[in-house]
Structure 1
């Protein structure tokens, strides 16, 4: 099967959060394969360094920065450093999240604040930080990650689903605010993507995966590559008139 290549992404500076593993790593690989200059952050230092080394043969070897996204000042400092080192950022991918399961009665104020601090807050402050760089370019694409979990009302992760629903509100507001600068803001809502983490924590057996896939309209296992290809499209000039939208990629699960 052959997929699209996007010449407009060649040489473009791309910043990906949570890029060391899972969907984020597939996004880093996809952009590196187009000839983009990719920088990515994660708290997983070993995995991030290993991915950068894996892609050392790309036209532009990706740059990994260890960064805790709950530290807003540190995150914005990395964005500024990437702009100095590689040039103005043209694509921001707010992928990082933590879909921890939690019982309602066990949620504390501290836990609630932590969930928003990783699943929602960074998406605003990274956008705030890249906006001046995109203004210099005269264009930009910001891709925020939501999730279909909020649409179904997942009962065992209300802090997470609240954040992911809010991502759509944030996306629409930023799209309107940034539009005059030719900066597009869109969201992606992935379905049940079978990453290593999902296999380890929630779908440990072939039977559990099969039961999930049987609920999809397209009954194939959803992988991170499918999400990454959607990200490429939204980052490329081919989607230059698409903004304030959310795209569900779930094989028809919901």
Structure 2
């Protein structure tokens, strides 16, 4: 990925950053962007092959590599233990990027209570428990940035995945409530709201000719939203440049909603 046009954020150099779902797509772009800034990065993912490839590629390109831990984010105990392990190895986490999610399509008629609970566990529950695990270290330092990933899907009234859109609508509620709870400790909590991002998954599953027409109709900007465009916003929110930004939504959707 060409990061030559990214802004430089001196305050990110040496910062300890933790990214969920960092092995591919938007997460991988975020991981690479922080490595490019000189941060100390760790990430979790369930896809070992793509994650190990990312680690090797970044080591070859930057001479530095992120720490990768295989972890199912719906396993709360394992997730929080991984966060403690990262803190022991790298130091207290200073930037948390809650990125992992799954936008599997599902008809409302087919949703069972078990499926609903599984989707909520993937798309919102684990965000809170990551926050809970990193906050003691941030409070100790009296500094930190927590970045939750939302979605414009519910704002655009997208159907066909009610458990996902409900979870993503709830993300900003989590952001605003937690921002109030931890703001006096100089910890910022914000939401990044992606539009239709051209990840490998989206391109292989849903961005067909009709999808391209839909993007052209709905975005006010020409072009396509790429993973690096989300990474640009995440870097800003992680850096000291956004030190007075909290409890806010920052949308990167080409002007769709």
TM-score greater than 0.5 by the shorter chain: yes
The answer for the alignment partner of 2:160 in structure 1 is 156
In the alignment, the residues of structure 2 paired with residue 84 and residue 52 of structure 1 have an alpha-carbon distance, to the nearest angstrom, of 20
Q: Which one of the candidate residues 226, 231, 235 is aligned to 1:228?
A: 231
In the alignment, the residues of structure 2 paired with residue 60 and residue 8 of structure 1 have an alpha-carbon distance, to the nearest angstrom, of 18
The answer for the alignment partner of 2:19 in structure 1 is 16
The answer for the alignment partner of 1:134 in structure 2 is 138
The answer for the alignment partner of 1:169 in structure 2 is 173
What is the number of equivalent residue pairs in this alignment? 253
CA deviations 1:125-178 (Å, max 9, x no partner) are 000000011122220000000100111221101100000000010000000001
> Structure 2 matches for 1:209-228, cutoff 5 A?
209-228=212-231
In the alignment, the residues of structure 1 paired with residue 53 and residue 91 of structure 2 have an alpha-carbon distance, to the nearest angstrom, of 24
In the alignment, the residues of structure 2 paired with residue 60 and residue 127 of structure 1 have an alpha-carbon distance, to the nearest angstrom, of 26
Q: Output the aligned Cα RMSD.
A: 1.2
Q: Which runs of 4+ in 1 moved over 4 A?
A: none
In the alignment, the residues of structure 2 paired with residue 210 and residue 55 of structure 1 have an alpha-carbon distance, to the nearest angstrom, of 35
Report the Cα offset of residue 61 of structure 1.
1.4
Report the Cα offset of residue 210 of structure 1.
4.2
Report the Cα offset of residue 212 of structure 1.
1.5
The answer for the alignment partner of 1:55 in structure 2 is 58
In structure 2, do the counterparts of structure 1 residues 137 and 60 end up closer, same or farther at CA, with 3 Å as the change threshold?
Answer: farther
In the alignment, the residues of structure 2 paired with residue 110 and residue 207 of structure 1 have an alpha-carbon distance, to the nearest angstrom, of 33
Question: Residue 74 of structure 2: SS of its match in structure 1?
Answer: coil
The answer for the alignment partner of 2:41 in structure 1 is 38
Report the Cα offset of residue 206 of structure 1.
4.9
Determine if the alignment matches structure 1 residue 76 to structure 2 residue 80.
yes
The answer for the alignment partner of 1:189 in structure 2 is 193
Q: Which moved more, 1:1-10 or 1:46-55?
A: 1-10
CA deviations 1:192-214 (Å, max 9, x no partner) are 001000011111x3553244234
Q: Which moved more, 1:159-168 or 1:2-11?
A: 2-11
In the alignment, the residues of structure 2 paired with residue 207 and residue 150 of structure 1 have an alpha-carbon distance, to the nearest angstrom, of 20
Determine if the alignment matches structure 1 residue 86 to structure 2 residue 90.
yes
Question: Residue 98 of structure 1: SS of its match in structure 2?
Answer: coil
In the alignment, the residues of structure 1 paired with residue 113 and residue 124 of structure 2 have an alpha-carbon distance, to the nearest angstrom, of 16
The answer for the alignment partner of 2:29 in structure 1 is 26
In the alignment, the residues of structure 2 paired with residue 26 and residue 3 of structure 1 have an alpha-carbon distance, to the nearest angstrom, of 12
Determine if the alignment matches structure 1 residue 124 to structure 2 residue 128.
yes
Gapped regions of structure 2 (runs ≥ 5): none
Report the Cα offset of residue 111 of structure 1.
0.6
Report the Cα offset of residue 73 of structure 1.
0.5
Question: Residue 30 of structure 2: SS of its match in structure 1?
Answer: helix
Report the Cα offset of residue 231 of structure 1.
0.1
In structure 2, do the counterparts of structure 1 residues 10 and 59 end up closer, same or farther at CA, with 3 Å as the change threshold?
Answer: farther
Question: Residue 243 of structure 1: SS of its match in structure 2?
Answer: coil
Q: Which one of the candidate residues 214, 237, 242 is aligned to 1:239?
A: 242
